[in-house]
Amino acid sequence: MPPVRVLIVDDSAVIRKFLSDLLAADPDIAVAGTAGNGKLALARIPEVKPDLITLDIEMPGMDGLETITEIRKTYPKLPVIMFSSLTERGAAATLDALARGASDYVTKAASASTPEDARVRVRDELIPKIKSLCAVRREFPQLVAPRPVAAPARAPAKIDIVAIGTSTGGPNALAEVIPQFPADFPVPIVIVQHMPPLFTRLLAERLNGRTRLEVQEGEEGKKVESGQVWIAPGDRHMTVTRKGRDMVLAMTQEPPEHSCRPAVDVLFRSVAQAYGANTLAVVLTGMGADGTRGARAIRDAGGEVIVQDEASSVVWGMPGSVVAASLADRICPLANIVPEVVRRVTFRRMMNNAAYAARGK
C-alpha cells in the first residue's frame, strides 16, 4: 500500500518541522505538505490531495474551528486530527472541533520533561491514530444472531445496568446516543470514553445539557441509580462495586490497560462482577481492542453485548474486535443503538414482571 499522505497545518514553523520530521520517520506515512494557516490549508488540499490533515486549533486569522467547518463543506469524509492543549480552553475547543466534524485529536506535549519525551509521546499517540483513521475498511456482516442458548426454565434476567465503552469518534456518538434515552429510562448508564482530565468533565457537562437524564463525571462513592449517566473521569479507572444493598462508584489509578486510563475493560469487568447476567454492554466506535476482554467477562456472567456497526463508526477497532471474538449479540447502526437498548431493557423487565405475577397465582 502507498504511504498515508498527511497535510500538516500549524501556524508555528517549529511545530510544522517537529511533526514533519516525526511523521517522515515512519515508512507508512508521507508528508504531503504543510500550511501555516487555515486559508492556506484550504488552498493546499486540492493541490496535495492528502489522505489526512493534522490541524492546530489556535491559529491567527482563520483558526482551527473555522477551518474544520470549511473543510467539512467540501471534504466531508477527509480525516482530520486536531492538535489541542491540555487546558480548559483547549479541551472546550477540542470538543467544539469534534462537534464540527473533526475525526480525533492529539494533545500537545507541553508538560514533557525533555524534547525527546515530547517526541515519543506525540509519536505514540498520533501515528496509530493516523494509521487507524486511514485503514482500509473491511467487510464484516452487519447483523449477528444471538448466541444459541437452551430455552430458559424461567424468564431471562432483567437488565439492571447499561455499560458503554468508546474512544475515537465517541464524543459525537455519545452526543447522538445519550439524548435519545427517555427521561424514565429505568436503569443507570456508566460510560468510559478515552479522554484526559478536563475533557471528560466538559463532555459530561455538555451531554447533561442535551438530555433528560442526569449526566455527571464519576466520583468516588457515588450511588448508582436509575436516571443517572456516569462518565469515567480522565486518568482514573472507574468501577462499580456493591456496598451493602447499594451499587457505588469507585475510582482507581491502577496501571493503564491498552495504554488507557480509564479503560473500558476495567469498567466492564466490574459490572460483570457486580451485576452478572443483569448487565447490558454497548461498544461504540473506537480505536484498538479495549472492551473485548470486558465483553467476554460480561458474556461469561450471562449478560449481553451490543456493538456499533462499521459503516457508522469513525473507527471500527473496538466494536470490530468484539465481533471478531464472537462476543456480540447484536451489531447496530449508531441510530439504532438506543432503540435496541430500550427494547431489550423493556422486554426483560416485562418478562420478569410476568413471571413474578405468574408465581403469585
Q: Of these residues, 11, 63, 84, 194, which one is catalytic?
A: 194
Q: What is the pLDDT of residues 338-354, one digit of tens each?
A: 999 999 999 887 877 66
Q: What is the pLDDT of residues 230-283, one digit of tens each?
A: 999 999 999 999 999 999 999 999 999 999 999 999 999 999 999 999 999 999
State residue 358's pLDDT score: 63
State residue 187's pLDDT score: 97
Let me know if 194 is a catalytic residue: yes
Q: Where along the chain do its domains lie?
A: 4-133, 161-360
Half-sphere exposure for 108 (CA within 13 Å, toward CB) = 21
Lowest mean pLDDT among 42-56, 107-121, 158-172, 305-319: 107-121
User: Over pLDDT 90: what percentage of the chain?
Assistant: 83
Q: What is the pLDDT of residues 269-322, one digit of tens each?
A: 999 999 999 999 999 999 999 999 999 999 999 999 999 999 999 999 999 999
User: pLDDT at residue 220 above 50?
Assistant: yes
User: pLDDT at residue 143 above 50?
Assistant: no
Q: Which residue has the cell 461469561?
A: 300
State residue 146's pLDDT score: 42
**Which of the four pLDDT bands, split at 50, 70 and 90, describes residue 154?**
very low
Greater model confidence, 149 or 291:
291
Query: 161-360 belongs to which homologous superfamily?
Result: Methylesterase CheB, C-terminal domain (3.40.50.180)
Let me know if 160 is a catalytic residue: no
Average pLDDT over residues 186-210: 97
State residue 153's pLDDT score: 42
**Which of the four pLDDT bands, split at 50, 70 and 90, describes residue 110?**
low
Let me know if 56 is a catalytic residue: no
State residue 112's pLDDT score: 60
Q: How far apart are CA 176 and CA 339, in angstroms?
A: 12
Task: Find, among 225, 235, 203, 226, the residue nearest to 216 by Cα.
Answer: 203
State residue 277's pLDDT score: 95
In the chain, beta strands by DSSP E:
4-9, 29-35, 52-56, 80-84, 104-107, 161-166, 189-193, 214-217, 228-231, 237-243, 246-252, 279-283, 304-308, 330-332
State residue 142's pLDDT score: 42
CA 64 to chain CA centroid, Å, is 22
Q: Of these residues, 56, 290, 309, 329, which one is catalytic?
A: 290
Residues forming beta bridges with residue 216, ordered by sequence position: 230
User: Over pLDDT 70: what percentage of the chain?
Assistant: 90
Q: Do 4-133 and 161-360 fold alike per CATH?
A: yes
C-alpha cell at 228: 443517572
Average pLDDT over residues 125-131: 95
289: alpha, beta or left, given left = phi > 0 and alpha = psi -120 to 50?
Answer: alpha
Q: Of these residues, 103, 167, 312, 321, which one is catalytic?
A: 167
- Other CB atoms within 10 Å distance of the CB of residue 315: 24
CATH code assigned to 4-133: 3.40.50.2300
pTM: 0.91
Average pLDDT, the chain: 91
